[in-house]
Copies of this chain bind each other. A is one copy, B any other.
Amino acid sequence: MKLNILGCYSATPRTFTNPTAQVLEINNHIFLIDCGEGTQVQLRKNKVKFNRIKHIFISHLHGDHFFGLVGLISTFRLLGRDTDLHIYAPKGLKEVITLQMKLSNSWTNYNLYFHELTSKSSEIIFEDQKVTVQTIPLDHRVYTNGFLFKEKEGERKLNMNAVLNSSIDVSYYRKLKQGFDVTNEAGTLIKNDAVTFPPNKPKSYAFCSDTAYNEAIVPIIDEVDVLYHESTFLEQHAKLAAPTKHSTAKQAASIAKQANVGQLILGHYSTRYSDLNVFKEEAQTIFDNVKLGDDGKIFEF
**A residues in contact (CB < 8 Å) with B:** 11-15, 37-38, 40-41, 44-45, 61-63, 67-68, 70-71, 74-75, 78, 90, 92-93, 95-96, 99-100, 103-106, 141-142
CB–CB B71/A63 < 8 A: yes
Chain B residue contacts of A67, Cβ below 8 A: 67, 70-71, 74
CB–CB A63/B100 < 8 A: yes
Chain B residue contacts of A103, Cβ below 8 A: 61, 90, 92-93, 96, 142
Number of copies: 2
CB–CB A13/B100 < 8 A: no
Extra inter-chain contacts (8) besides given A12-B75, A63-B106, A95-B99, CB under 8 Å: A11-B78, A14-B44, A61-B100, A62-B106, A63-B104, A67-B67, A90-B103, A93-B103
A68–B100 CA distance with the chains assembled, in angstroms: 13
A14–B105 CA distance with the chains assembled, in angstroms: 23
Which 4 A-B pairs give the minimum distances between C-beta atoms? A92-B103, A12-B75, A61-B103, A37-B71
Chain B residue contacts of A44, Cβ below 8 A: 14-15
Would you give the shortest CB distance from A160 to chain B, in whole angstroms?
48
Contacts A/B (CB < 8 Å), 14 sampled: A12-B40, A13-B40, A14-B41, A15-B41, A37-B71, A62-B104, A63-B70, A63-B71, A63-B74, A63-B100, A63-B104, A95-B99, A96-B99, A96-B100
Chain B residue contacts of A37, Cβ below 8 A: 37-38, 40, 68, 71
Chain B residue contacts of A106, Cβ below 8 A: 62-63
Q: Which residue of B is nearest A99, CB measured? A: B96
